[in-house]
Amino acid sequence: MREKIFLISTIIVTFFSFWLIFNDNTMGMRQDADAGLQLDIIRDDLATYSKMKPEDAREYYEEALNELHALIEMFAGTEEALKAKFYIGATYNQLGNFDEAIKYFDDVLSFQDEINQNFKARLLYFKANALLGNGKVPEAKDVIAELRKIEPGAANAFGKELGGTMRVGMNAPDFHTKDFQGNPVDLSQYEGQIIIMNFWATWNDQCIQELQETKKLYRKLKGPDVQFIGVSRDDNIDDLKGFVRQHNIEWPQIFEGMRHKGMMSKLYDVNRIPIIFVLDQEGKVQYIGNQKEKITQIVTALIVRAEKKSGD
C-alpha cells in the first residue's frame, strides 16, 4: 500500500504529537467551550494517528480533516476555529500535501495580533517541514531562522543547516555499495561527471506521482556528462525490482531498505523523500531539493561551465 507522507526523523515525529497540545490561552479571541471540547477530542486523535503506520492512519487523517472543516464552519471567528486551521495544516503535512499545509499555516500566521509566541513557533516549525517537503530549501531556511528567535530548541531539530550536515558547497560523502542487481556503485567511479541522486520509495505516493517528471528529467539530461542514481528506501527489494521492471526505469538503483535508517540515508542525512542531490564534476553538492526546473538549470550551467573550461 502506498502513502503520501513526509518521512521525518524520530524527533520530528515526537514534536508532531507533542506540539499539537495547547495548554495556554493562545489567542486574544472569543472562545467557545463546545468547540474546545470537540477540538480536544480531534487533537488527541491526531496525536494517536501520528504513532500509527502511515498506511493505516490515512483514512483516519481524512476523517479528522472533515471534522476540522466542520468545526471551523460551525464556530467561525473563535479561537478554536483558528487552532483548527493549524491542525488541518499539520494533518496535510502528515499526508504529504505540502501546498495545502503551507496555505493553512500562512492563513493562521496572518493573525499576527491574535497569536502568541508559543503558537507562532508551532506554526513556523510545521511550515518549515512543509517547505522542505516541497524542496523549497531557501524558503525553509528563512522560516527556521525566524523560528530560532522564538524557540531555539525546535529550530535545532532541523540541525544547524536545515536538519543536517549536508549543505550546498560541501564535498559529497563517498560511498561504496551495490545496486539491487549486485553491480558495484562507488561515488569515485563517476569522477568528472555530474551526479543526480534521487532518494525515493515505491510506497511513497509523492515519489510515484513525480515519477514521470523524474523520467523526463532523465531523458533530458542523460549523457556522458551526467549520471543518475536512484536510492530506494523500500522495505522489500522485490517491490523495487518489480516496479523498476514495470516502469522501465533505466538508471541504477541502490536498494537502501530500512527506510530512513539505511547507510545512504545516514550518510547524506536524508530524513524526507523524495529528495534529489546534484553533485558537480568535482563531487561537491550543488543542489538539495526536488524542483525539476531548478535541477535542469543547475546541471545545464555545470555542463556549459565545463565545456568553456575545456576550451580554454
What is the pLDDT, as a whole number, of residue 86? Answer: 94
Nearest to 139 by CA among 294, 277, 23: 294
The answer to whether the peptide bond before residue 274 is cis (omega within 30 degrees of 0) is yes
What tens digit of pLDDT does each residue of 7-58 get?
333 334 444 444 555 555 556 678 899 999 999 999 899 888 877 876 788 8
Domains of the chain and CATH, by start:
10-156 (1.25.40.10), 176-311 (3.40.30.10)
Beta pairing, strands 226-232 & 253-255: parallel
Which residue do the cell numbers 550551467 mark?
A: 301
The answer to whether the peptide bond before residue 252 is cis (omega within 30 degrees of 0) is no
What is the pLDDT, as a whole number, of residue 30? Answer: 85
What Cα–Cα distance (Å) separates residue 196 from each residue in 15, 172, 207, 217, 245?
Answer: 32, 12, 15, 10, 21
What is the pLDDT, as a whole number, of residue 75? Answer: 95
Nearest to 243 by CA among 296, 304, 201: 201
Within 89-157, strands assigned E span none
Query: What is the pLDDT of the chain when averaged over all its residues?
Result: 83
Beta pairing, strands 176-178 & 194-200: unpaired
Report d(CA 34, CA 40) in Å as an integer. Answer: 10
Kindly state the cell numbers that stand for 179. Answer: 545496486
What is the pLDDT, as a whole number, of residue 132? Answer: 75
What is the pLDDT, as a whole number, of residue 157? Answer: 67
- Coil, strand or helix at 196: strand
What is the pLDDT, as a whole number, of residue 266? Answer: 78
Q: Which positions of the chain have pLDDT values less than 50? A: 1-18, 160-164
